[in-house]
Amino acid sequence: MSEAIKEQVVAAIKESGNFSLQLDESTEVSDEAQLLVYVRCQGKNDMKENFLFCTRLETTTTGEDLFKLVDSFIKKEGLSWDQCFSVCTDGAPAMLGAHQGFTARVKQVNTAGIVTHCLLHRENLTSRKLSLELNSVIKDVIQIVNFIKPSALNSRLFSQMCSDMGSEYEHQLYYSCVRWLSRGKVLQRVFEMRAEVEIFLNEKKHALASRLAEPRWLLKLAYPTDIFTVLNLLNISMQGTEKTHLFVSEKLKAFKAKLRSWKGKIERGKTASFPLLNLFQEDEDVTLVDEQSVLMSTLRS
């Protein structure tokens, strides 16, 4: 079945005459490196986007290794680099290296090809720029998750405790800096399960247990949770078929306008645009007076 699908995709590329590629090299939980390649070409009535192939990288993951794999596939399927008008990558050194990177090798065989750095990846890199205080809170959260999740015993005990308490969730989520939805989902899960996490950490006499009883710390957790939840929604909305450059540009312009509006509201102490932060303030009767500069620094970033 997969072979038949591949043949249909290759046939569509040949019929179109030109195509663009998007590549992502990533490592699985089993420590196996995989190269995923997607293709975009003109169909009869609209643009077509399809998964092209996935292959394992046996040893090293240099730009030369990546190029050899893609070059081998293109030649095997009767395609030509002259037909490839653009390549989009995640900006890793192996991809964008000036001399031995994948895109440098592509330029050697097709000087007219356009090379771009994935817009979502650049936005994700930018979103890592946080104030020291908020970054400290996120590091605490990662430490808490890494205490519960990787340990099979702690994970089972936490899951059983949550089940006994009738919690909505029974598991924490792993954080991975290379997964662009990861941070927001991890922060949201920890914030929503803060009562269960606090009980579990206290039972285990963990040094960070007291954090979850500090309103100021929780307030600074609620804020980035709201921010990264919105960023996740933005990133998801820019994924999928028929998302043109104009569509994505308009999305980003609208989001920048939102940031300016939020900054003004935070300056005035208004938090209605931040659901978790707003609800937490009402429940715990805490204010932003001492934390406004911290929150505004993130919006300025």
pLDDT in tens, 268-298: 878 888 898 888 888 777 666 555 555 555 5
Write the CATH number for 108. 3.30.420.40
Average of per-residue pLDDT across 240-258:
82
Which has the minimum average pLDDT: 17-31, 217-231, 252-266?
Answer: 17-31
Per-residue pLDDT band at 6 (split at 50, 70, 90) = confident
Residues 105 and 181 in one domain: no
Residues 267 and 210 in one domain: yes
Question: Are 266 and 292 found together in one domain?
Answer: yes
pTM listed for this prediction = 0.74
Q: Is 17 left (phi over 0), alpha (psi -120 to 50) or beta?
A: left
Are the C-beta atoms of residues 131 and 298 closer than 8 Å to each other? yes
Amino acid at 134: L
Last residue of a domain, one of 64, 96, 117: 117
- 155, pLDDT greater than 60: yes
What total number of domains does the chain contain? Answer: 2
The answer to whether residues 106 and 159 belong to one domain is no
The answer to whether residues 213 and 268 belong to one domain is: yes
Q: Of 117, 145, 178, which closes a domain?
A: 117
Q: Which residue has the higher pLDDT, 93 or 51?
A: 51
Structure tokens at 57: 């990288």
Q: Calculate mean pLDDT across residues 54-82.
A: 85
Are 283 and 254 in a shared domain?
Answer: yes
280 lies in which domain range? Answer: 125-300
Same domain, 105 and 131: no
